[in-house]
């Protein structure tokens, strides 16, 4: 199988192959983001879709599998990835320190014109900054442009990393920041304290949710059903919009705070009926 076809099977959209380095590309399920990545080394290549895959898969030209070359390539790639992770953490710290607390066009577009956030300017473009941590350790950041385009720092490790708002309440897991803000607003309307974990992708949502007992998932209703599938895999109660392609922020903006909060409250009630439900510690 050609590499391009192999990558397409895993959802990556590749216009042309760039060799010998990790390349971020759009995916069929997230065409506006760069959730896919690949590294083509000639006799071996790696492919990963962050939304659906926990680790890269390996491609070989048909009939030309070389076990020794594969082991060498994997070892070298791991060494390079470790260095890039360290570099990404250093850059993330620098950006966070340079960022200012202010309004942002993306938040306005998502229904939160008065919401402040960390904003960093690059080439006169205001980028919303979301620090991504695992426990208390910084892993990297997500940057969101005014038009909603999102990206991570090159080389950062996102598996298991999250951004948490509020704290000291019912654990709630979701993919995106706008969904988290709508969830926060509706939980405040319901007068239910919560800790909301922004997990950045469906596959990472499963990773983060597996480490914390109890809680609920606020899932994206993706056309390919990845969001719902990941929610089911957590074995936690989950909310899902009745409209294809909609996340909770879309739903909140469409139906208003009363209907959205009542819809979410039903899922919370099903969770609170479970005796083993636990509240998360403050994670901010």
Pick 162-284's CATH classification: 3.40.50, 3.30.70, 2.40.10, 3.40.1360.
3.40.1360
The whole-model pTM stands at: 0.77
> Could you give the residue range(s) of every CATH 3.40.1360 domain in the chain?
162-284
Q: Which residue has the tokens 């992770």?
A: 85
Would you state the pLDDT for residue 65?
A: 65
Burial classification of residue 48, based on how many CB atoms lie within 10 Å of its CB (0-12 exposed, 13-18 middle, 19 or more buried): buried
All residues at 6 or more sequence positions from 259 whose CB lies less than 8 Å from its CB, including other chains: none
Per-residue pLDDT of the chain (284 residues; tens, 9 = 90+): 889 999 999 999 998 999 988 898 999 877 877 889 899 988 889 998 877 776 788 898 876 666 777 777 778 777 877 898 999 999 999 999 999 999 999 999 999 999 999 999 999 999 999 999 998 899 999 999 999 999 999 889 888 999 998 777 999 999 999 999 999 999 999 999 999 999 999 989 999 999 999 999 999 999 888 899 999 999 999 999 999 999 999 999 999 999 999 999 999 988 765 443 444 444 54
DSSP state of 259: H
């Amino acid at each position: 199988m050609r590499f391009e076809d192999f990558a397409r099977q895993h959802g990556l959209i590749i216009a042309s192959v760039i060799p010998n380095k990790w390349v971020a590309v759009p995916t069929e399920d997230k065409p506006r983001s760069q959730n896919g990545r690949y590294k083509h080394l000639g006799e071996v290549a790696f492919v990963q879709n962050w939304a659906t895959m926990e680790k890269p898969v390996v491609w070989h030209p048909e009939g030309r599998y070389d076990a020794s070359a594969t082991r060498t390539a994997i070892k070298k790639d791991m060494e390079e990835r470790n260095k890039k992770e360290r570099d990404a953490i250093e850059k993330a710290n620098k950006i966070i320190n340079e960022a200012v607390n202010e309004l942002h066009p993306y938040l306005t577009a998502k229904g939160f014109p008065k919401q402040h956030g960390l904003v960093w300017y690059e080439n006169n473009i205001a980028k919303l900054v979301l620090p991504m941590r695992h426990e208390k350790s910084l892993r990297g950041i997500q940057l969101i442009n005014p038009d909603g385009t999102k990206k991570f720092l090159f080389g950062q490790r996102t598996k298991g990393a999250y951004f948490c708002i509020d704290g000291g309440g019912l654990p709630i897991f979701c993919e995106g920041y706008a969904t988290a803000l709508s969830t926060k607003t509706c939980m405040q309307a319901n007068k239910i304290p919560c800790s909301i974990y922004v997990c950045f992708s469906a596959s990472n949502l499963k990773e983060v949710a597996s480490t914390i007992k109890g809680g609920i998932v606020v899932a994206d209703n993706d056309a390919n059903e990845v969001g719902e599938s990941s929610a089911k895999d957590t074995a936690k109660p989950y909310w899902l919009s009745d409209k294809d392609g909609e996340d909770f922020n879309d739903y909140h903006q469409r139906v208003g705070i009363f209907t959205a909060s009542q819809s979410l409250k039903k899922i919370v009630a099903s969770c609170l009926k479970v005796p083993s439900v636990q509240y998360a510690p403050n994670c901010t």
